[in-house]
Amino acid sequence: MTRLGERSYKPNLLVLTSYPLADPKHGGQIRGAQLVEHYSSLGWNAHNIAYVDYESPEQLGPNDKIFSDKKFHGLFEGIEVPYVNDLALSEYVGCDSVFLDFCSSLPMRIDIIHVEQPWLWALAERYRADVNGDCILVYGGQNIEAKLKIEVLSSLTDGHYSYLYDRVYTAIDALEKRAVGSADIVAGVSRSDIADMSAWNSRAQFVSAANGVRSFPVDARHLSLWQQKLAATPFLLYAASAHPPNFTGFNEIFGGSLACFPPNTRFVIVGSVCPHVEREASVGPYRTVNQSRLRLFQQVSDDDLAALKSLAVGFLLPVSYGGGTNLKTAEALYVGKPVIGTPAALRGFDDWVGFPSVSVGYNPSEIHKAIRQVFANPPVSEITEDKRDSLTWANCFTGLLQAVKGRMDGKSNGNLG
Amino acid sequence: MAIWVDVTTSLSWERPPVGIVRTELECARHLTIKGVHGSREHLCYYDREAGVFRRLSDTQNRKIDNMLLGRYGHRSDRPLDQFLKVHSLPRKDTRRGPLKKLNRKLRYCLDGVEGGHLKGWGWQAGNFGFPVEVLIDIEGKVIARTTADKFREDLQSQKIGNGTCGFEIPLSDIFARLDDSCGGSANISLKPRFGKPVRVGELIYSPEAFDFIRSPAPEQGPMVRLANGDTYITAGLDWDSKDFGQIYSLKARHGFRVIGFCYDMIPFYLPHLCVGDVAAYFAKHFTELSWCADGVVCISQASKNDFLGFVKDSGCRLPELDVVRLGSSIQPRKSREHAISRNVVRVLQDRFILYVSTIERRKSHETLYRAYVTLLEAGITDLPRLVFVGMKGWGVDDFLRDIDLDPRSKKYISILTDVDDGELDLLYRNCLFTVFPSLYEGWGLPIAESLTYAKYCIASNRASIPEIAPRVLSGIDPWDINAWAREIYSLSHDPTKLASLEEDIRQSFRPDTWSQFGEDVLDFCSRVAQRIE
């Protein structure tokens, strides 16, 4: 076994997440899996441990842990509150028993811990304090979580827990500032997020690590299958998970109406967001129009999605709120076809908005107009190959990998004396 | 490049036409020309099941021609057999001559009228392969014929030949050759292959039978493909009969232009005044119309404003819009021997005021009922009869029950349904004035009709109504019952004031004509075509 300081030493890196990466489906999982993959591409031993809600139906990795402790699960300050289980997890991992269990499951000494989101930060911080003082800590901020949590609660609970909003915000804000304050490297997904976190009194090195895309080849068989299924109907595509910003506010974004879609076109939606969109679109005076324009496919494979992206006229991203950058936005931009999105969807892609094929709709009227335009007169894309390639995970993680490698190399050189 | 006028709604209409059906018919009258065979060219209808346009069949053409002449299929409350009887003559052996015994006896039966056909059977033994001919004649002149060669299981089971000796003649074929101004009878004869016609019965009819006969069973006309550059005009009850999504696809394939109509957006903006929750249904209709149509004719500025609001909110495409006023003339039918209905006669004997409209919540007949009760409770009893002319619509069961049971107003209010144009003409001419307290309208055709007769109309001040005759009429809020009561009392007790208002109408109001409507629609079609080119 090579040791730190020896020239052939392979660093050990751990990525900590609150969702499993064994079968990545949603944006966070894809991002986490890409982090492990790209850290591994440096020749390092990169692993993942996830702390997963016991109610999650997802496939677990070999080192993943279940979060089910009733003293914490589903509770905030002892009160049952929905949508704050991640905050409850952050309390749980502060327990001694949890930390001891964590340490005992580590296969070796960890040189770098990369924590996605602040929920598991306590584990990394304590590992550096109690086990390995040289451990490099990287905080991966996907969002400004405190603000996002309040937006989720207010959009999904009808203000029922509004009396807790201040306390929830304070608790999460404190977690984020603690992570940013004690990290060696902070990775943000957008310039805006990095600017916000930089103001939190940290000596960390801030780097950009936007959400990227995977290039997925189109399989001819799947292409043919979807051509038949959709019968050459022109459509706009939206692929999304059931994360609340992906569907709450759907009616506000469209003014309740999908009548802007010509009769022979469709809005194709794939992913776990489907039942939520169907529910949102089925209310109000335009519900019959909406239902006539929607085609919903809840479960699709990567091959299906690649085929759909290839067949789509363009992409429509009705994301209602949220910071960070949107994985689906990056994927849509990468295809090079027209993209229509809300300001929230295109957050972090400001340098793309100037292209004719990229439209931001600030209100229903603008969204409607952009949709009509894209079907009547599709804009020609002026996006270059280089610009598209900047969206790949490899390019997006360049700065992060360089920063982490730089720190690691500095530690190694120091040990070499 | 032809102009095609869709008459889908008229083809299935059996009553005196309401405004929309009338508008569709006037489009047919003014926007098409008669061909060499007498029928109008470029009339079509939409076969929704097949998703195609069709020309009219001969029967359908005749129906439209009749409707344009003011003759409508009229479902009387009395069954057809009150007006049409089949009388079989006593049977006798008609064989003559030395070969009498060699001639086979003619057997027959006149079954009567069923499903719009005269039915029966006729058979002569020994004449297999030569069916008996059936002749209908008037004084020896044959007006319809057929052969008794239809298979019927009942005849086979009764061993009447091999069962292939039944016959059916469409009544429409017989009545097409009869004079509808009077009743009469037609002879029914059977003619064997070798032999003279034998009179076996007669068809006895009265003029009312024509109303039944003119509502033929639907039959399909041949498919027609509209060409690139053609204009397709549709002005009927399109939310029931059309699939504009389908028509959009046809248009994309063949390149014709579409001109649609917007009468009003009431079901979308005021669904509570309609049957059931219809907003979503009509949102779909107007969405597909907006995408499909190159131009939409709105019948008032109010409707146009509503349509623009809908397009803005919904996000659908905005077609070219124009406001075209509907004509307001009523065409009385030519006189007939049958009497004006008893109910109308009774009304004509009184002083009365008239409200012509479907009886439904939106039309606010209750305003008038309450105004009358207000006057009656104030001790004012010398009021004219209040006459409602119109079909019963939605949401008025309780209201009609009130009218029927309320002892105060019961004797003042009459309701007339199934009033034809001739009777309506008489009612307008003889009323004191008309009333129209509707809560919302796309136009308000009965108000214009009233002014055409120089009859003043106490009208609502809502929606499109003020557009009809702004210099002549002042509107009243339909929910201001006291104002309605005051105005009804004033005009029914002050003949000088009423006469002055009527003179204002004669001086200031120029009735809109259907010919002007036709010109305006044609002009709009041209402008739309130029814009596209």
Which one of A260, A288, A372 has the shortest CB-CB distance to B280? A288
pLDDT, one tens digit for every residue, chain B (533 residues) = 899 999 999 998 877 777 899 999 999 999 988 777 667 789 999 999 889 999 999 889 989 998 888 776 544 434 566 678 898 887 766 566 665 555 567 889 999 887 678 999 998 877 656 889 999 999 889 999 999 988 887 888 788 888 889 999 988 888 888 887 778 899 999 998 878 899 999 999 888 787 766 654 557 899 999 999 999 999 999 998 999 999 999 999 999 999 999 999 999 999 888 877 789 999 999 999 999 999 999 999 999 999 999 999 999 999 999 999 999 876 554 555 456 888 899 999 999 999 999 999 999 999 999 999 999 999 999 999 999 999 888 889 999 999 999 999 889 999 998 788 788 899 999 999 999 999 999 999 899 999 999 999 999 999 999 999 999 998 999 999 999 999 999 999 999 999 999 999 999 999 899 999 999 999 999 999 998 87
Give residue B299's pLDDT.
Answer: 97
Residue A255 with chain B: CB contacts under 8 Å: 313-315
- Which candidate in A260, A363, A365, A373 is best for mutational testing of the B interface (most B CBs within 10 A)? A260
Residue B249 with chain A: CB contacts under 8 Å: 263-264
Task: Give me the half-sphere count of Cα atoms (radius 13 Å) on the Cβ side of residue B58.
Answer: 4
Distance of CA B402 to CAs A70, A82, A204, B421, B424, Å?
65, 55, 82, 29, 26
| B318 vs A: CB within 8 A | no
Portion 254-313 of B in contact with A at CB < 8 A = 268, 271, 279-281, 283-284, 287-288, 290-292, 312-313
In which residue are the tokens 């068989």 written? A221
CA-closest candidate to residue B27, choices B61, B46, B3, B11: B3
Instruction: Please indicate whether, in this complex, the C-beta atoms of B249 and A263 are within 8 angstroms of each other.
Output: yes
> Is 0.85 exceeded by the ipTM?
no
Instruction: Please indicate whether, in this complex, the C-beta atoms of A285 and B279 are within 8 angstroms of each other.
Output: yes
Give residue B163's pLDDT.
Answer: 85
Q: Which parts of chain A sit beneath pLDDT 70? A: 1-7, 323-325, 327, 414-417
Instruction: Please indicate whether, in this complex, the C-beta atoms of A264 and B268 are within 8 angstroms of each other.
Output: no
Give residue B216's pLDDT.
Answer: 47
Give residue B159's pLDDT.
Answer: 80
Give residue A417's pLDDT.
Answer: 42
Nearest C-alpha in B relative to A375:
B317
Question: Phi/psi class of residue A116: alpha, beta or left (left: φ > 0; alpha: ψ in -120 to 50)?
Answer: beta
Nearest C-alpha in B relative to A287:
B280
Instruction: Please indicate whether, in this complex, the C-beta atoms of A288 and B290 are within 8 angstroms of each other.
Output: no
A417: CB partners within 8 A, 6+ apart? none
Which one of B281, B284, B317 has the shortest CB-CB distance to A372? B317
Nearest C-alpha in B relative to A257:
B314
Residue B291 with chain A: CB contacts under 8 Å: 262-263
CA-closest candidate to residue A92, choices A70, A64, A59, A113: A70
Give residue B71's pLDDT.
Answer: 74
Residue B280 with chain A: CB contacts under 8 Å: 284-289
Looking at residue B40, the DSSP 8-state letter turns out to be: B
**Considering the entire predicted model, what is its pTM?**
0.75
Residue A260 with chain B: CB contacts under 8 Å: 314-316
Strand locations in B92-197 (E): 106-114, 117-124, 133-138, 141-147, 150-151, 164-170, 184-191
CA A307 to mean position of chain CA atoms: 22
Residue B279 with chain A: CB contacts under 8 Å: 285
Instruction: Please indicate whether, in this complex, the C-beta atoms of B313 and A257 are within 8 angstroms of each other.
Output: yes
d(CA B395, CA B417): 17
Q: At what angle do helices A121-130 and A165-182 cross, to 10 degrees?
A: 40
Nearest CA distance, B318 vs chain A (angstrom): 10
Give residue B102's pLDDT.
Answer: 56
- Which candidate in B310, B314, B317, B318 is best for mutational testing of the A interface (most A CBs within 10 A)? B314
Give the tokens for residue B437.
């307290």
Residue A257 with chain B: CB contacts under 8 Å: 283, 313-315
Residue A371 with chain B: CB contacts under 8 Å: 315
Instruction: Please indicate whether, in this complex, the C-beta atoms of A285 and B280 are within 8 angstroms of each other.
Output: yes
Amino acid identity for residue A72 in this structure: F
Would you list which residues of chain A are within 8 Å, Cβ to Cβ, of chain B? 254-255, 257-260, 262-264, 284-289, 292, 364-365, 367-369, 371-372
Residue B281 with chain A: CB contacts under 8 Å: 288
